Amino acid sequence: MSGGKGPSNPILRGLIRKLRRKGREFDANIWLDLADRLARSNRKRSEVNLSQLDRYTEKGETAIVPGKVLGSGKLTHPLSVAAFSFSSRARRRIQKADGETLTITELLDKNPDGSNMTIIE
């Protein structure tokens, strides 16, 4: 038990800091919201199945998952998905559907103003 406030994972702490900095710099509330969601405890962090991504997104959209993407279900349309982590099965199935898997850091560098993205939990 760390006893401190926030996550003890140094990679996650760095990502949260970077999201908050970019959110203030570009006045992009999506990055600030995402940082708050990632700062939650592990028990409250999101786990999203491909079936949920398929149901709540459209072709060509960019979805952000503040947690882990799991491989249950099918993805019937191409989609860009950014997440803190992916299961190997989820990564394979997204790429098989001609989609793209990104880390949140890669998406932050690619689209710093945070436009045209949806957070899925």
Exposed e or buried b for every residue in 55-89, given b needs 16+ CB within 10 A?
eebeeebbbbbbbebbbebebeeebbbbbbebbee
pLDDT score of 65 more than 50: yes
- Going along the chain from its start, the domains and CATH numbers come out as 10-119 (3.100.10.10)
- Provide the mean pLDDT of the chain: 93
pLDDT (tens digit per residue) in 69-82: 999 999 999 999 99
- Residue 5: the pLDDT is 76
The pLDDT assigned to 17 comes to 97
Structure pTM?
A: 0.90
Radius of gyration from C-alpha coordinates of the chain: 14
Both structure tokens of 109: 């560098």
